[in-house]
Amino acid sequence: MKFEFENEYLLYAIGEDGKNLHFIDKKSGIDYCLHNPSIACAKIKISDKYYDASSVSYSDGNLMINFDEPQFSAIMAIQAKKHYLIFEVMSINRNSVGNPISDFDLKEFVFANINLSLKGKADEPFSACALALNLKTNVVEIPQAMSKLQAICYPRFGFAGAKVAIIGCPQDKLRSVMKEVVSDSTELPKSPIGGPWALDAEINKGSYMF
């Protein structure tokens, strides 16, 4: 069984074992998801060690992500917008009262964890990008075409509410989709001369020399 999430440009699929299955450009039919090796869509850091998701299930817009070792589970809401997907962490829970893992040992939750065959270069026909949607969410790379998508949240800021936009679109549409993401967000700052609008602003095309 697999769980599919799609919009106008992208079809993304996860297997019930928690591994990424597809990241497909719907126009060309090319699958950019790396399969050798296939990686888990999420992982959790306990103390200094990472554990991959072991299984997932999906119901009513929520993805349940299970970790057999250690015994944790996460619930994520996944929403398909016209040109991008939103992944939002709803909760992270221990699965048993007798779980010896302390909440203080839980260091990170990594989600929307997708390795791609794309190189993140401007001459590629298709592009992918992970864009953090609030301060609870850490996307290490700057917003641009990427070869690996990943978002991280931490107990210091709270896991619930961490949110990322996952973009897969034609290369020449990337900046316009990023504008769409920022415009739709209620938590991101918006500037007509910054972010995805920076290349449009005449003031940014001047010289700093004087």
> Which among 118, 132, 116, 111 has a CA at the least distance from the CA of 178?
132
Give the list of residues 6+ apart from residue 37 with CB closer than 8 angstroms, or none.
none
Q: What is the pLDDT of residue 98?
A: 57
| Whole-angstrom distance, CA of residue 41 vs CA of residue 115 | 9
Half-sphere exposure of 139 (CA within 13 A, CB side): 25
Q: What is the pLDDT of residue 128?
A: 98
Half-sphere exposure of 161 (CA within 13 A, CB side): 9
Residue 133 · residue 163 · CB < 8 Å: yes
Q: What is the pLDDT of residue 196?
A: 72
| Whole-angstrom distance, CA of residue 179 vs CA of residue 152 | 22
Q: What is the pLDDT of residue 155?
A: 92
Q: What is the pLDDT of residue 202?
A: 58
| Whole-angstrom distance, CA of residue 112 vs CA of residue 40 | 9
| Whole-angstrom distance, CA of residue 86 vs CA of residue 61 | 11
b/e 167-183 (16+ beta carbons within 10 angstroms → b): bbbbeebbbebbebbbe
Domains, in order of start, for the chain: 2-205 (2.70.98)
Q: What is the pLDDT of residue 143?
A: 92
Which residues in the chain come in under a pLDDT of 50? none
In 19-140, where do the E strands start and end? 20-25, 43-46, 49-52, 55-59, 62-67, 72-80, 85-94, 106-115, 126-132
| Whole-angstrom distance, CA of residue 130 vs CA of residue 143 | 7
Q: In what order do the strands lie in the sheet with 148-153?
A: 49-52, 43-46, 106-115, 148-153
Q: What is the pLDDT of residue 197?
A: 64
